[in-house]
Structure 1
Amino acid sequence: MFLADTKADTIGILGSIFCLIHCLIFPVLVMGGMLNEEWSSHAEWVDFIFIILAISAVFFAARQSKNNTLKGLMWFSVAWFSASILLHETFNLALYSSMAASVVLVVLHSINFKNHQQRFHTKNATA
Structure 2
Amino acid sequence: MLLIKQKPDSIGAIASTLCLIHCIATPLIFIVQSSSMTCCNGVPAWWGSIDYLFLIISFFAIYHSTQTTSKNWIKTSLWLSFLSLTTIIVNEKNAWFYLDEKLIYVPTIALIVLHLYNKKYGQCGLHKSFIKSE
Q: TM-score, normalised by structure 2?
A: 0.75
Q: Residue 80 of structure 2 corresponds to which residue in structure 1?
A: 76
Cα deviation, 1:2-35, whole Å, max 9, x if unaligned, reads x987610001111111011111112111121168
Q: Residue 102 of structure 2 corresponds to which residue in structure 1?
A: 96
* SS class of match (1:66): coil
Q: Root-mean-square deviation (CA), in Å? A: 2.3
Partner residue of 1:115 out of 80, 105, 121: 121
* SS class of match (1:81): helix
The more displaced of 62-71 and 25-34 is 25-34
Change (3 A) 1:107 1:67: same
Q: Residue 11 of structure 2 corresponds to which residue in structure 1?
A: 11
| Maintained 8 Å contact 1:6/1:116 | no
Query: Where do 5+ consecutive residues of structure 2 fail to align?
Result: 126-134
Change (3 A) 1:4 1:28: closer
Instruction: Name the aligned partner's letter for residue 112 of structure 2.
Output: V
Cα deviation, 1:92-123, whole Å, max 9, x if unaligned, reads 41x32221111000111011001256x55xxx
1:37 Cα offset (Å): 2.6
Partner residue of 1:64 out of 43, 46, 68: 68
Structure 1 vs Structure 2: percent identity of aligned residues? 24
Structure holding more helix per residue: 1
Which stretches of structure 1, 4 residues or more, deviate above 6 A after TM superposition? Answer: 3-6
Query: Where do 5+ consecutive residues of structure 1 fail to align?
Result: 121-127
Cα deviation, 1:21-73, whole Å, max 9, x if unaligned, reads 111112111121168434x2413211110111111111010111111111111
Change (3 A) 1:116 1:5: farther
Number of equivalences: 115
| Maintained 8 Å contact 1:6/1:113 | no
How far, CA to CA, are the matches of 2:12 and 2:113 in structure 1?
10
